[in-house]
Amino acid sequence: MKEEWPSVPEETILMLKRRRNTSALEQWTASKDGNGLTVHRFWMDNGQPWQEIQAGTGFMDLAEALQRIPELRTLSRGTISEYTVVTAVMDPPVLVSMLEASEEGGAEAVGDWSEEVARAWAESDSSLREWQVELDWVPRWARVNDVRVSVINTGTADSPVLQPVLADEDDEQLVPIREIARSSWASESGGAPISWSGGNILSLLAPGLGYSYPCDDAALDQAGIYPFTDLPEAPEELGEALADWVIETDSEVAAALELEPLDPSGVIEDAERRAWIRRLDQVTVSLEIDVKAEAQEALRESLARRSEVYRRTRDGLASPRSPEGQALAAALDGALDDGNIGQLTSGLWE
């Protein structure tokens, strides 16, 4: 029998439909009104008429409502939670980052539900495990705007840390709040007509939690690598965390080419400068970073302290006529001539 849900108040920006394995139904709405944002809860047990209460009013925004009403944000075993949010108010990944998963009960159990209900969710759980086998999934059954939500344990078996995540099953990828950094490269064999391209992406999955994953051909070399890392808010600590990521992904040369200035003393002539700019514009390694200037400066300082490859590249850019500068220029020219970036990114140029 098709379920009939209560009508939704005008100017509703969030709706949650929740089913329980006891057959009880709930509907939550967050709607704008003269008092700010008001949350209503509707519930129905055992086929009885719907009942309604005002769960809270006067909230400044949706984030405050979620923070102050635990039932609105908690994913528990024995429930199916389907959220619909107005994306102009809050992006789905941001909403998911504010959800919580109760440790009580562990993973969702297929046997607690009718076969008709459980089949599709169980197939979805299986799909998630297949394309992210290295993750410790703790299945909870939820969606936001029709995109699957489940839970990952980012801690240990003895000290679990349950993190709800938005999972795009079509793209087979977790959906982050935003991208923090992206390294990219393209290379050719230098002999046979074979080419490769790849890189790594570091994204903010939840406040303080980074998610790193390879793309294209790089994925072949990094299968099974644990993808989570801490991303502190403090600029100095964030710079150190970003330096860890740059070094782990062998992106030191790309980082120096992005972060360090060319010839800051203004020694080289116009023709030399044009040749250098051509090299830097055309080389097929790059790094994009989207953090504030203080964190970028902390990243520069950390890489200069910890990475010899970064220092060599930085020094070559700073003094293009020095032996380091000439060696870097030769490595860049070699990569442009034959398409092979291996020597350049190794930092072992002569």
Structure tokens at 235: 């600029």
Instruction: Please check whether residues 93 and 223 belong to one and the same domain.
Output: no
* pLDDT of amino acid 225: 56
Confidence band of 190 (pLDDT split at 50, 70, 90): low
Structural domain boundaries, residue 319: 178-346
| Last-in-domain residue among 136, 158, 174 | 174
Name the average pLDDT for the chain. Answer: 92
pLDDT digits (tens, 9 = 90+) for 87-136: 999 999 999 999 999 888 889 999 999 999 999 999 999 999 998 888 89
Task: Kindly report the pTM of this predicted structure.
Answer: 0.86
Residue 67 in any domain: the answer is yes
Mean pLDDT in residue range 6-29: 95
Predicted local distance difference test score (pLDDT) of residue 339: 86
Confidence of residue 48 (pLDDT cuts 50, 70, 90): confident
Q: Are residues 210 and 331 in the same domain?
A: yes
Are 120 and 142 in a shared domain?
Answer: yes
133 domain-assigned:
yes
- DSSP, collapsed to helix, strand or coil, labels residue 106 as coil
Query: Per-residue pLDDT for 226 more than 80?
Result: no
CA separation, residue 77 to residues 37, 70, 103, 140 (Å): 28, 15, 9, 6
- What's the confidence (pLDDT) of residue 197? 81
**Residue 287 DSSP one-character state:** E
Pair (26, 90) in one structural domain = yes
Which two tokens mark 255?
């980082």
The per-residue pLDDT for range 288-329, each reduced to its tens digit, is: 999 999 999 999 999 999 999 999 999 999 999 999 999 999
The answer for residues whose C-beta is within 8 angstroms of residue 271's C-beta and 6 or more apart is: none
Structural element, H or E, at residue 169: none
Which contiguous run of DSSP H or E holds residue 275?
Answer: helix 270-282
Structural domain total, the chain = 2
Sign of CA dihedral 306, 311, 313, 317: positive
With residue 157 as reference, give the H or E element that holds it: none
